């Protein structure tokens, strides 16, 4: 795992000590899932789609996709496992949105 991925792979436990930390966690999570594009990306990741497939389906540039993936990771919704993105427990909210 790269240092950047290690740095971005944070968990709820790091944000549960104080009210301020809890607010930061929830703020980051809200920002990550508030975008319709990021919700679509999250759903496609949950379906097991690759970055290349997501690019094609959503007609995004690589730069745009990288930006949204970074926000989803920052917001605790996804993390890297090898060369694929995986939905976290927090990211599973996608199963309850936009039905």
What CATH number does residue 88 fall under?
A: 1.10.10.10
Tokens of 36: 């319709």
pLDDT value of position 10: 57
Q: Locate tokens 């496992």: which residue?
A: 81
Q: How far is CA 6 from the centre of its chain?
A: 15
* Spans of the chain, pLDDT less than 70: 1-13, 16, 97-99
pLDDT value of position 98: 62
pLDDT value of position 61: 98
pTM of the full predicted structure?
0.81
Domain count, the chain: 1
Query: For residue 65, what are the domain limits?
Result: 3-95
pLDDT value of position 20: 87
pLDDT value of position 8: 46
pLDDT value of position 12: 56
């Amino acid at each position: 795992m790269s240092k950047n991925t290690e740095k971005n792979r944070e968990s709820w436990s790091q944000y549960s000590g104080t009210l301020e930390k809890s607010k930061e966690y929830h703020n980051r999570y809200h920002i990550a899932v508030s975008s319709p594009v990021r919700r679509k990306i999250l759903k496609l990741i949950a379906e097991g789609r690759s970055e290349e497939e997501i690019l094609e389906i959503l007609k995004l540039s690589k730069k745009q996709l990288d930006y949204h993936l970074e926000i989803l990771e920052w917001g605790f919704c996804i993390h890297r496992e090898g060369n694929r993105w995986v939905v976290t427990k927090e990211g599973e909210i996608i199963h309850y949105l936009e039905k």
